[in-house]
Amino acid sequence: MKLKHKDLLSIHDLSTEEVLKILDVAKKLKKMQKEGVPHEFCKGQTLAMLFSKASTRTRVSFETGFHQLGGHAIYLNDKDSQIGRGEPIRDTARVLSRMVDGIMIRTFSHDSVIELAKYASIPVINGLTDLLHPCQALTDLLTIEEHQKTLEGRKLVYVGDGNNMAHSLMYACAKVGMHMVCASPKGYQPDPAVVKQAQEDAALTGCTVSVEEDIFKAVKGADVLYTDVWTSMGQEAEREVRLQALHDYQINGELLKAAHEDAIIMHCLPAHRGEEITEEVLEGPHSVVWDEAENRLHTQKAVMVLLMSGAEL
């Protein structure tokens, strides 16, 4: 199995074996980093990081991670690059392909990422789009495995807006045999096309992917409770409407009691305390959000090593 020179646009595009390989390499790289073992598998390489959306975790984890791998990362936002002045994505893709070894992009339109990958001759990594957030979902699998020991047969319940995070978690769970329920109100449920694809993937691994409006019915027997902000970047004008529509879809102490007693709480951050999650739960003993945040570093390093260097670990 070789991932070198491939793109990571969606977890749906990966095989189960490829997902597990990324997780395995992430665990090895994390151990090496904790033990102070040098792991410069991308020494001499350059990563271009294209940002159209604000970022804390994505920028710091990719930039720090690539530095630890011995490479050099270049940060480019819309103000720093010609993309912001209207240069076509296909032109940027072909120019960067002749200068750097890989591209990470965090932007709004998923179609832009698809076009970038089509014209680039180097690996393209989707750092986030309005449709998908694959690096975060892979990170979440690593975090769940660390705390729950196994992935297959576990049940993850996503609560709230059926957004890019819900979509990628559906794909991720389906690939590793985890049951996934998205608890969302009508009008805020995930893209039906994504649900259908995830269900097809789930049929191959013996798990289920579903959408449920009844939040307490959804969380029954859950091993993982997951949420995200109700108003994502670019939706600020809808904030008040969203707060009202999603008001009852909050992870709080009462909802936690309906899950397994050893259930873990996850959030991709940033968190809006008092909206999608309460302070007591986010800071409580079931929360693993800080481990989850750290694991962005290790998982994305695994992705970069596998796609850009092809090193065998």
CA–CA dist 55, 136 (Å, integer): 13
Which one of 3.90.1150.10, 3.40.1360.10, 3.30.70.1380, 3.40.50.1370 gives the CATH number of domain 11-133+296-309? 3.40.50.1370
pLDDT tens for the chain, residues 1 to 313: 689 999 999 999 999 999 999 999 999 999 999 999 999 999 999 999 999 988 999 999 999 999 999 999 999 998 877 777 788 999 999 999 999 999 999 999 999 999 999 999 999 999 999 999 999 999 999 999 999 999 999 999 999 999 999 999 999 999 999 999 999 999 999 999 999 999 999 999 999 999 999 999 999 999 999 999 998 777 778 888 999 999 999 999 999 999 999 999 999 999 999 999 999 999 999 999 999 999 999 999 999 999 999 898 9
What are the structural domain ranges in the chain? Answer: 11-133+296-309, 135-292
Question: What pLDDT sits at residue 83?
Answer: 76
Secondary structure (3-state) at 127:
strand
Quickly count helices (H) and strands (E) in the chain.
12, 9
Tell me, yes or no, if 296 is annotated catalytic: yes
Peptide bond into 192 cis (omega under 30): no
Tell me, yes or no, if 106 is annotated catalytic: yes
Residue type, 236: E
Count how many residues are written for the chain. Answer: 313
Tell me, yes or no, if 135 is annotated catalytic: no
- Contact by Cβ (8 Å): 8, 308: no
Question: Given 45, 68, 136, 148, which residue is catalytic?
Answer: 136
CA–CA dist 215, 56 (Å, integer): 30
The total of other beta-carbon atoms located within 10 Å of residue 148's CB is: 18
Question: Given 39, 267, 268, 298, which residue is catalytic?
Answer: 268
| Tokens representing residue 76 in the block | 């480019």
CA–CA dist 153, 52 (Å, integer): 37
Question: What pLDDT sits at residue 78?
Answer: 85
Question: What pLDDT sits at residue 310?
Answer: 87
Q: Which CATH class is domain 135-292?
A: alpha beta
Question: What pLDDT sits at residue 1?
Answer: 64
Q: What share of the chain is helix, strand, coil (3-state, %, to 5)?
A: 45, 15, 40
Q: List C-alpha distances in Å: 40 to 36, 58, 64, 94, 286.
A: 12, 20, 12, 27, 35
Considering Cα of 117, then 144, then 22, then 305, what sign does the dihedral take? positive
Do domains 11-133+296-309 and 135-292 share one topology? The answer is: yes
Tell me, yes or no, if 268 is annotated catalytic: yes
Tell me, yes or no, if 133 is annotated catalytic: yes
Question: Given 167, 296, 298, 300, which residue is catalytic?
Answer: 296
Secondary structure element (H or E) that encloses residue 74, with its range: strand 72-77
Please state whether 107 falls in left (phi above 0), alpha (psi between -120 and 50) or beta. Answer: beta
| Tokens representing residue 168 in the block | 């990628």
Question: Given 39, 106, 267, 286, which residue is catalytic?
Answer: 106
Question: Which has the closest alpha carbon to 222: 274, 275, 173, 172?
Answer: 173
- Parallel, antiparallel, or unpaired for β 224-227 and 264-267? parallel
